[in-house]
Amino acid sequence: MKAKIHPQYYADCQVSCACGNTFTTGSTLPAIKIDICSQCHPFFTGKMKFIDAMGRVEKFSQQFKAAQAKKFVKKSDRKKKKDQNDNKTPLTLKEMFDQEKKKSK
């Protein structure tokens, strides 16, 4: 190994978790702070735990409910509905007069 190019290695690096758990390992840092460890991670504990940052879980839940509430409409049904709405367009003055003439006859 070349001298003075590698970082210093700490054999007794103290790792501390947000849950309060601490353990020792080897690292190039003298101390490490982590958010989650094997003592509090749901995979190892078997308990479900939501870590919600800025309401992302609630936002996702709302979007999911909105998507479920929307009814899927086939393309052919949308086209039929559009055609029906096109038939309900306002009549011109001439068309209204013609309709009245037909009614009166």
The CATH architecture one would assign to domain 10-104 is Irregular (4.10)
**Amino acid in the structure at residue 88:** K
Residue with tokens 């899927």: 72
Which residue ranges make up each domain of the chain? 10-104
pTM of the predicted structure, to 2 decimals = 0.41
Collapsed DSSP state (helix, strand, coil) of residue 31: strand
Work out the number of other CB atoms within 10 angstroms of the CB of residue 88: 7
Tens-level pLDDT at each residue, the chain (105 residues): 688 898 999 999 999 998 899 999 999 999 999 998 888 887 777 777 666 667 788 888 899 888 888 777 677 777 777 777 666 666 788 888 888 888 887
What tens digit of pLDDT does each residue of 19-36 get? 899 999 999 999 999 998
